[in-house]
Structure formats: structure tokens, C-alpha cells
């Protein structure tokens, strides 16, 4: 019981600013990483909008108020489930420009990390505007213009900078020094904004107005597109006007699995999240867990070993499905495969991860997630990103938005192996029009045909373990939504071969037991920023939980 009692004490400490009670409502819920976005999304629901309508409005507001990850210059995934049970996954991951190649990150034959992650060459073709519009065209109720309007107002009139945003902008200013448009937008002549001041973004407002008036054509064609390509040419990028014009978001079939009588709906490739989460849950289904097991050495060991194997499979098999049509997805998420993997796990000793010859790409933790349920019970889980915090740090002059550096999610070069054991795969080498691998994991859980959980998180590869733990916290460990979000977290990704755990999150005795079993452990400050909605199966009330690891997060119910 030590681990369970420690969880109660630590979760109280983590959320000293508030009790472990979720926001509760009957009619609708919006949970995001920023209060203006949550408020705008809820206003859309109150006006009769659908969950997708609210997601569109929320995402555009985040592009104004959460510039580290909210965006129109990036991409992501949206998972929608109707109240009737129909589900669709919208893939608006960025694509590689048509001039991309597996060796594009080499400079004079040597790998160049600056070119890979911090240059105009690192910018992928953005997908956010196309993806939001595709989802809205199939599930929206309110006019497109009305959904972009809240973001336009906030960009024009400005909003009060929070202490968290002020700190974030100040940290990024040195990286923006090379880009005058970035400094002009996010500083006062090079001096940091301070909390309480107003941030206005008039160029961004004009870009949003073009999107409001013309939909995707207001971004991928015309003035905005010309401004993007002008900046690409100035900085030596390879994206062309044809790359922008030819971008298409895609509707895909969600991955579906089961866990202890619950249906798990999640993203298919090019996200690796759905595969890894379902595969891990399939392995873990062979053992019993109860509330008393939370934080125990046995539970952490079994969860870490499941994640180790899922990440190993991720490294060897997953990439863009359009470029890798033979991926064995159904085998990886099958119960038989999980049984074989479970039998390879010792209950007394940690496994050893072997690096083989793979190399991971560098996936940044800076992403943002939105969970929404509307009055009819339609649900949206939306995760989107610029890759690094503030992406490439390149604001398009005259357009006012940050460009991504998502090309950094492709592998560095063919056959590259890192001494730290970073892993990747041939399916994830750069190629023309290819979508880079992602860990973003918007996920919806149901039971007996009824909605139970909408979940997701930022965090790079830790997204997978964070989302896995929010599911287990509610299903196995009997937590309400806020407890499930506040609970201490850990992560294992095969390589590096270690359990990374949140500071003060787990008992020293538990950590010592894990180390005697052969696990290497590493303390980290925090992991993820989950935003979840849980439906109480007894009362039917919606429980919204924002992650107070991010002080600007907010759950708003109706």
C-alpha cells in the first residue's frame, strides 16, 4: 500500500494550488493548455456548435495565445467519435517538400544537426489549416468565419501575457535573434515582455482573416503562401509554392483495440501513438492491477517492460503508411503478439535493450493537446505541434506566424547510429511528400458503446507513456479525471534504457527495488501536460481535468 498512500500525498503536493477534484458539467466540456482557448471553445459549444466546431475555434486561438505549440504553421492529428459511435482520424501531419531526400541533412558529407533542426531546410509543409478545415467540412455546424473570429479578435486587440508565457518568451529570445520578424512579434525591440503586458499580433490577425475568408486557399494560395515562399527563398529553404498548393489532409480509419472490456480508439500511422499504446495495453492486460498497485515496483516494472517492447516495435516498423504500405500494424496490435511479448518479460529482472543499428530522430516535447465533448456526446481529441518549442523560431515576415521544424522528426541519415543508443528506422527517412513519424496520441476510450475518456498530451515520445498512464489511472487505479492527470508519471522508450521518473513522484524504496531488478532510473522535472475528459459511468457527468504542470491550462464545463 506504500505506493498508493505516497500517490495521495504527492498528488496533493503537485496541485497545492487546487484540490484533486475535476471540473464537472452536464452539457459540454473543453480542456486545453490555455484559458482563452478553453473559454472560446466553450462559447462555441454554448452557441450550438459541435465538438469539431469548438476544436477549430480552440486551435486557432491557441495559435495566438500559446505560440510555443499552438499554430497555423505546423500540423497534427484530430480524432473524432460521434455520439453514435462512428470514428474517424484526421491526419494533417506536415509533409516533406518535393526536393527532400534521405541525405538532405548532410553538409559536405557530414551530418549537420543545425540543418536538420534549426534552419529553413527543417521546415515541413504545414498541415494545420487543411486538417481543421477537412474535419469542419464533415462535422461542423457553425460558419467557418465565426470559428476563426475569436482568434482574429485576440490577435488584433491583444491579450494579457501570463507569467508562464512571459517566462517562455524570454527563454526563446536568444534563439530568435537571427530572425527580425520573430523579435518584432515576440519582444519589445529585443527586450522581453513581462507578465501583465499586452501582446498584439497584427500580421497574424491579417493571416487569420485570409483563412476566415477563403478557408485553406487563404493559406496555401495567395498572399500568405507568397510570404511563406519568399521567406523560404531568403533563408535557403526548399519548400515551393507547388508544395503548398498540393498539400492535402487525410481522413484515416482509427486504430481500434480493447483493454479489460474497454474499446481503445487512437491514431494510426504516421502517428506511432496508437500502435504503441494498444500494444502496451495488450501486454499489460495479462496482469491484474488495482488501486493499491499504483506506484508499486511491480506495476512500474511491468509497465516499463511493456513500453520497452512497444517502442522497439515502433522503431523497426512504423513510418508514413503511404510510403511504407507493408507495415504489419494488425500484427503489432494483436493479442497474440502481446502474449508472445509478455512471455518474454521476467517478473524479477529488467530486460536489456539492444541498440542494433537504428537511430531515433529527435522528437521535441513541445506540443499541445485539446479534449472536447459537446452536448450530444460527440468527442474530439486533438494534438498538434510546431515540433520544438516555437518550432523553427522563424516568424514569416508580414504573415505573423511561426513555422515548424518538423523535418527534424525524420531520421538524420541512412544507417546512422548514435552512441547514446537513439533509435530510428528506414521507414522514417526523409523523401519527397512523405509524412514524418510522430508520437502524438489523441485517444478516446469507450465501454459498452458509451464514451468514457478523451485523452492526450504533449511531450514528444513521452506522450505515449503519459496517455497510457491516464488510461490505466482511470481504468485500473480507480482515479477521477483530476487524480488521473495529477498522478506522478514515468517513461520508458526502449533506448536509452532507463526509467525516467518525475521528481518526488515515487517512493525511494520503490526506486531501489527497481534498481535491484536491473532498471536504470533518471529523475526528470516533469512529464507531459495531459488534458482529459472522463465521463462518470454512474452519473453521466463530464469530468474535465487540465494538467497543472502547465499553470495556464484550463478546463471549462457547461
Please enumerate in sequence order all residues whose Cβ is within 8 A of that of 310, keeping only pairs 6 or more positions apart, or say none.
Answer: 275, 276, 277, 279, 280, 283, 464
Catalytic residue among 95, 367, 368, 385: 367
What is the side-by-side order of every strand in the sheet holding 29-32? 250-252, 87-92, 75-81, 379-385, 367-373, 29-32, 554-557
Kindly give the pairing relationship between strand 532-535 and strand 521-524. Answer: unpaired
User: Is residue 417 annotated as a catalytic residue, yes or no?
Assistant: no
Please enumerate in sequence order all residues whose Cβ is within 8 A of that of 538, keeping only pairs 6 or more positions apart, or say none.
Answer: none
Q: Which of 292, 285, 295, 283 is nearest to 499 (CA)?
A: 295
The CA distance from 367 to 442, in Å, is 12
From residue 504, how far is each of 241, 274, 295, 464, 496 by CA, in Å? 50, 29, 12, 21, 22
Kindly give the pairing relationship between strand 499-502 and strand 521-524. Answer: parallel
Cell numbers 516495435 correspond to what residue? Answer: 313
The CA distance from 183 to 189, in Å, is 7
Beta bridge mates, 445? 264, 453
Using the 8-state DSSP alphabet, how is residue 53 labeled?
H
Q: Are 418 and 359 in contact (CB under 8 A)?
A: yes
Q: Which of 549, 554, 507, 506 is nearest to 527 (CA)?
A: 549
Kindly give the pairing relationship between strand 367-373 and strand 379-385. Answer: antiparallel
The CA distance from 518 to 527, in Å, is 23
User: Looking at the annotation, which residues are catalytic?
Assistant: 367
Amino acid at each position: 500500500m506504500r505506493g498508493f498512500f505516497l500517490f495521495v500525498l504527492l498528488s496533493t503536493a503537485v496541485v497545492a494550488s487546487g484540490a484533486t477534484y475535476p471540473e464537472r458539467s452536464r452539457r459540454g466540456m473543453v480542456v486545453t493548455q490555455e484559458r482563452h482557448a478553453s473559454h472560446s471553445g466553450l462559447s462555441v459549444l454554448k452557441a450550438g456548435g459541435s465538438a469539431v466546431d469548438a476544436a477549430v475555434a480552440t486551435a486557432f486561438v491557441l495559435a495566438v495565445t500559446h505560440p510555443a505549440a499552438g499554430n497555423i504553421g505546423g500540423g497534427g492529428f484530430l480524432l473524432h467519435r460521434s455520439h453514435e459511435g462512428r470514428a474517424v482520424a484526421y491526419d494533417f501531419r506536415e509533409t516533406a517538400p518535393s526536393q527532400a531526400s534521405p541525405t538532405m541533412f548532410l553538409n559536405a558529407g557530414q551530418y549537420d544537426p543545425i540543418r536538420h533542426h534549426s534552419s529553413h531546410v527543417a521546415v515541413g509543409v504545414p498541415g494545420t489549416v487543411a486538417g481543421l478545415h477537412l474535419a469542419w467540412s464533415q462535422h461542423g455546424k457553425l460558419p467557418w468565419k465565426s470559428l476563426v473570429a475569436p482568434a482574429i479578435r485576440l490577435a488584433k486587440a491583444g491579450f494579457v501575457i501570463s507569467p508562464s508565457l512571459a517566462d517562455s518568451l524570454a527563454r526563446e529570445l536568444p534563439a530568435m535573434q537571427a530572425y527580425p520578424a520573430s523579435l518584432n512579434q515576440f519582444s519589445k525591440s529585443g527586450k522581453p515582455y513581462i507578465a501583465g503586458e499586452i501582446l498584439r499580433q497584427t500580421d497574424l490577425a491579417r493571416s487569420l482573416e485570409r483563412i476566415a475568408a477563403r478557408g485553406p486557399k487563404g493559406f496555401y494560395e495567395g498572399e500568405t503562401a507568397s510570404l511563406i515562399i519568399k521567406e523560404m527563398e531568403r533563408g535557403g529553404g526548399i519548400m515551393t509554392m507547388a508544395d503548398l498548393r498540393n498539400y492535402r489532409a487525410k481522413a484515416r480509419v482509427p486504430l481500434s483495440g480493447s483493454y479489460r472490456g474497454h474499446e481503445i480508439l487512437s491514431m494510426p500511422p504516421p502517428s506511432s501513438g496508437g500502435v504503441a499504446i494498444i500494444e502496451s495495453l495488450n501486454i499489460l492486460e495479462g496482469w491484474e492491477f488495482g488501486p493499491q498497485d499504483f506506484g508499486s515496483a511491480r506495476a512500474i516494472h511491468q509497465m516499463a517492460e511493456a513500453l520497452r517492447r512497444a517502442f522497439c516495435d515502433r522503431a523497426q516498423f512504423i513510418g508514413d503508411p503511404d510510403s511504407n504500405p507493408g507495415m504489419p500494424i494488425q500484427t503489432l496490435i494483436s493479442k497474440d503478439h502481446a502474449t508472445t511479448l509478455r512471455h518474454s518479460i521476467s517478473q524479477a529482472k529488467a530486460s536489456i535493450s539492444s541498440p542494433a543499428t537504428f537511430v531515433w530522430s529527435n522528437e521535441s516535447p513541445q506540443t499541445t493537446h485539446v479534449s472536447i465533448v459537446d452536448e450530444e456526446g460527440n468527442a474530439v481529441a486533438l494534438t498538434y505541434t510546431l515540433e520544438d518549442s516555437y518550432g523553427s523560431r522563424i516568424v514569416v515576415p508580414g504573415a505573423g506566424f511561426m513555422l515548424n521544424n518538423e523535418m527534424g522528426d525524420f531520421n538524420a541519415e541512412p544507417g546512422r547510429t548514435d552512441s547514446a543508443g537513439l533509435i530510428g528506422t528506414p521507414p522514417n527517412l526523409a523523401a519527397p511528400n512523405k509524412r514524418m513519424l510522430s508520437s502524438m496520441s489523441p485517444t478516446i476510450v469507450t465501454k459498452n458503446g458509451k464514451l468514457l475518456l478523451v485523452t492526450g498530451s504533449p511531450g514528444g515520445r513521452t506522450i505515449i507513456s503519459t496517455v497510457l498512464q491516464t488510461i490505466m489511472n482511470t481504468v485500473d487505479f480507480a482515479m477521477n479525471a483530476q487524480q488521473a492527470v495529477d498522478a506522478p508519471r514515468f517513461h520508458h522508450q526502449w533506448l536509452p534504457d532507463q526509467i525516467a521518473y518525475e521528481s518526488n513522484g515515487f517512493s525511494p524504496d520503490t526506486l531501489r527495488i527497481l534498481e535491484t531488478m536491473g532498471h536504470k532510473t533518471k529523475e526528470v522535472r516533469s512529464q507531459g501536460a495531459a488534458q482529459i475528459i472522463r465521463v462518470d459511468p454512474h452519473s453521466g457527468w463530464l469530468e474535465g481535468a487540465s494538467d497543472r504542470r502547465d499553470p495556464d491550462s484550463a478546463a471549462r464545463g457547461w
